[in-house]
A = this chain, B = another copy of it.
Amino acid sequence: MSQRQRYAIIGTGALGGLYGAMLARGGHEVHFLLRSDFDHVTKHGLKIESHLGDFELSSVNTHATVDSMPACDVTIVALKTTQNRLLEELLTSPTRDGGVVLVLQNGLDVEADSAAVVGADRVLGGTCFLCTNKVGPGHIRHIDYGRIVFGNYSGALSPAAVRIAEEMVTAGIDANATDDLLLTRWRKLMWNIPFNGLSVALDATTKQLVDDPHAVALIEKIIQEVHGAAAASGIEIPETMIDKTIDSTRTMIPYDSSMRIDYLNRRPMEIEAIFGNPLRAAKKVGAEMPRVEMLYQQLKFIEAMRCDTC
């Protein structure tokens, strides 16, 4: 195998910090862009508590701005989509000629902003199925799951995507390359839309939701709408996934959704990426999602009432 690739992590939060630390532990040169945690991580490194095994990285390549980052083979975008206006500045420097950008963000068509900076053919997109929280400066708690599924934003699966998947698996990450990124995006939306949305709209944990019969009936209808909009877009997801999405949440370790954490911290929520883009995509193919649209409108109202920095 050729020399290991160099990685850049744009956004060292719960997700970027975890995967970046696993890659670094696996022997890769990894460069982390940090904001609030820069001083702490530079001094003390990263601390990972994971259900797959705890570890610490004492020496970390930290960067307060992209100016000090070297060109990298793979730039992982792990910012919230609510910060995508920064991508123009953040992606140019670390992504060297021939390097690719792997967008690990929630939602649909979230790769478009990165593609506008580096070109669609250099962009990969991925969805992460994991429960992870940042619990302190440079301190990440990985509670459950861990799978990444990613593929090319445009066109068929490239050798670059396959190589990244191989390196990630070697580093202990449950990574999978797919030739159908849209399928995995819609599959993830079947969870994100009802559970992120209702956990905020009803101010509840996912456990409280799956324990209530009226909430479960609503969740089922919402997932059916998402499933139907995917089908109208030519994405065939087995119907058994509707029940499976609810059942797997019943057995999930109780967990606050990322959107609820943003809501509780009065931060902007990823409403456009997770709700607005799928609604617009569904509309284009003539699919109706009245409950998803209602949830979108409720979240926009809640954000306007509550967000301190919007």
State the A residues within 8 Å of B (CB): 201-202, 204, 208-209, 212, 214-215, 217-218, 221, 290-291, 293-294, 296-298, 300-302, 304-305
Complex Cα spacing A208 to B306, Å: 12
Pairs across A and B, CB under 8 Å, 24 listed: A201-B201, A202-B301, A202-B305, A204-B301, A208-B305, A209-B301, A212-B300, A212-B301, A214-B296, A214-B297, A214-B298, A215-B297, A215-B301, A217-B297, A218-B294, A218-B297, A218-B301, A221-B290, A221-B294, A290-B290, A290-B291, A291-B291, A291-B294, A294-B294
Q: Determine the chain B residues whose CB is within 8 A of the CB of A305 once the complex forms.
A: 202, 204, 208, 212
Complex Cα spacing A215 to B302, Å: 10
Complex Cα spacing A215 to B201, Å: 13
7 tightest Cβ-Cβ pairs between the two chains A and B = A214-B300, A218-B297, A214-B297, A290-B290, A215-B301, A291-B294, A212-B301
Complex Cα spacing A297 to B215, Å: 6
Complex Cα spacing A221 to B292, Å: 13
Taking CB as reference atom, which chain B residue is nearest A299?
Answer: B214
Q: Determine the chain B residues whose CB is within 8 A of the CB of A296 once the complex forms.
A: 214
Taking CB as reference atom, which chain B residue is nearest A306?
Answer: B203
Complex Cα spacing A296 to B297, Å: 17
Complex Cα spacing A235 to B163, Å: 65
Complex Cα spacing A296 to B221, Å: 13
Is B291 within 8 A of A214, CB to CB? no
Taking CB as reference atom, which chain B residue is nearest A291?
Answer: B294
Complex Cα spacing A218 to B302, Å: 13
Complex Cα spacing A297 to B202, Å: 11
